[in-house]
Amino acid sequence: MIDLRSDTVTHPSDEMRAVMASAPVGDDVLGDDPTVILLEERVADLLGKEAAVYVPSGTMANQIALRVHTRSGDRVVMDADSHIRVHESGAPASLAGVTIVPVAGIHGIFTADQVVAAAPGPSPDFPPGLFDPTTLVTMENTHNEAGGTVWPLESMRSVSDGARDLGLAVHLDGARLWNATAASGIRLDRYADTADTVNVCFSKGLGAPVGSALAGPRDLIDRGRWFKKMYGGGFRQAGIIAAGALYALEHNRDRLVDDHANARRFAEAAADLDGVTVDLESVQTNMVFFDVDDASAFAGRLRSAGVDTLALGPTRIRAVFHLDVSDADTTTAIEILHGVATGR
């Protein structure tokens, strides 16, 4: 089976497993796991931030960020299709107690003007305390639901400057920031500079088995450690999995461009098929979203023929390319897609 459901389905390589098996460990809850400490320092350094905290998932990293930047009842501005809004199980309302103000981005990208419209400042016409305050803006790069699209650095800067003018904090959901950097050549720390806090994930395109990190100013990250513990994220001898993340950072970033090339090849082949619609403009990294008449039936036929994809809506299917999908696998997947689309 060629598994294109997500870039989270990768299996650790033998070398990664060997490094994990021999990793020095301590007790992460007591703060003395040397491999976790090394990973946190490495991530903070890569992102140009003072500190980072290793957590079990991207969802936890994002939710800790919401918590450290907001108070219960605050409003948070983000693209309507943000992972935080759509796929984090209602956590913003449940855990941070915030209201999300969704804005309609294009390919997941919104503007500073949209932030201003969504987060009006205090008005002399009303007494203080009448409106719930907006305190945070979040961006997502690459943007998952939009198809793995890359925010241009200038757009991020503009939103960030606009937000800061309004006194708002900025969080970047950079679960796949590695892919944005691979696609654009723009360094991680330059993207990270547009935000106060940044979430990055090791268990997606980088191919590590578990974990994400939240990076930012030391005082916020220290406060974030409290929420990590509160949310059940204290994971003791986590050095074993942190070692996989360190290995992935070292060995699996440069090869992300191969996944992007495979996604592009698959998308262009799909676009040539009758009955399959692809927005090629949105195919900028390792994901391909395409539409067919009946996504569930089409994905079922692909699966029977040896390609697993995700039907995400009545007509929408997602295929994601990653380090367990070779160039040859991509060629095979294209042949199978062709066969299913043409009924041959």
Ligand X SMILES: Cc1ncc(COP(=O)(O)O)c(C=O)c1O
Total of residues contacting ligand X (CB under 6 A): 12
Q: Which is nearer to ligand X, 200 or 307 (CB)?
A: 200
Residue type, 319: A
58 binds ligand X (CB under 6 A): yes
Contact region with ligand X (CB under 6 A), list: 57-65, 73-81, 115-123, 324-332: 57-65
How far is 218 from 229, CA to CA, in rounded Å? 17
Q: Counting contacts by CB under 6 A, is residue 57 touching ligand X?
A: yes
Residues 193 and 47: their CA atoms lie apart, in Å, by 8
- Does the footprint of ligand X cover residue 59 (CB under 6 A)? yes
Cβ-based nearer residue to ligand X, 207 or 334:
207
Using CA atoms, how far residue 178 sits from 182, 310, 324, in Å, is 6, 23, 17
Q: What 8-state DSSP symbol labels residue 98? A: P
Sheet containing strand 212-216, strands side by side: 51-55, 212-216, 197-201, 169-174, 134-140, 75-79, 99-103
- For residue 321, the minimal CB distance to ligand X (Å) is 15
Among 35, 63, 194, 212, binds ligand X (CB under 6 A): 212
Q: CA 134 to CA 56: how far, in whole Å?
A: 28
| CB 287 to ligand X: min, Å | 10
Closest CA to 149 of 123, 128, 171, 176: 176
Q: Among 39-47, 55-63, 66-74, 267-275, which window interacts with ligand X (CB under 6 A)?
A: 55-63
Q: Quick one: which of 133, 135, 142 has its CA closest to 167?
A: 135
Q: Is 83 in the site for ligand X (CB under 6 A)?
A: yes
Binding flag, residue 173, ligand X (CB under 6 A): yes
User: Is residue 213 a contact residue for ligand X (CB under 6 A)?
Assistant: no
10 binds ligand X, rule: CB under 6 A: no
Answer for which of 40, 79, 140, 259 binds ligand X (CB under 6 A) is: 140
CB of 102 to ligand X, least distance (A): 15
Q: What ranges in the chain are assigned the alpha helix state H?
A: 14-21, 34-47, 58-69, 83-86, 91, 112-118, 153-165, 177-184, 188-192, 218-230, 239-251, 256-271, 295-305, 327-342
Taking the complex as a whole, the smallest distance from the CB of residue 211 to ligand X amounts, in Å, to 8
Which parts of 179-208 interact with ligand X (CB under 6 A)? 201, 203
Look up tokens 């160039």; give the residue.
327
HSE-up of residue 251 (Cα within 13 Å, Cβ side): 14
Q: Is 259 in the site for ligand X (CB under 6 A)?
A: no
Query: Which residue has the closest beta carbon to ligand X?
Result: 58
DSSP calls for 198-252: EEEESSSTT--SS-EEEEE-HHHHHHHHHHHHHTT---SSTHHHHHHHHHHHHHS
Cβ at position 58, least distance to ligand X in Å: 3
User: Looking at 10, 63, 135, 144, which residue binds ligand X (CB under 6 A)?
Assistant: 144
Q: Where does this chain touch ligand X (CB under 6 A) — which range of 53-61, 262-270, 295-303, 314-322? A: 53-61
| Under rule CB under 6 A, residue 81 binds ligand X | no
Binding residues vs ligand X (CB under 6 A): 57-59, 62, 83, 140, 144, 173, 175, 201, 203, 212
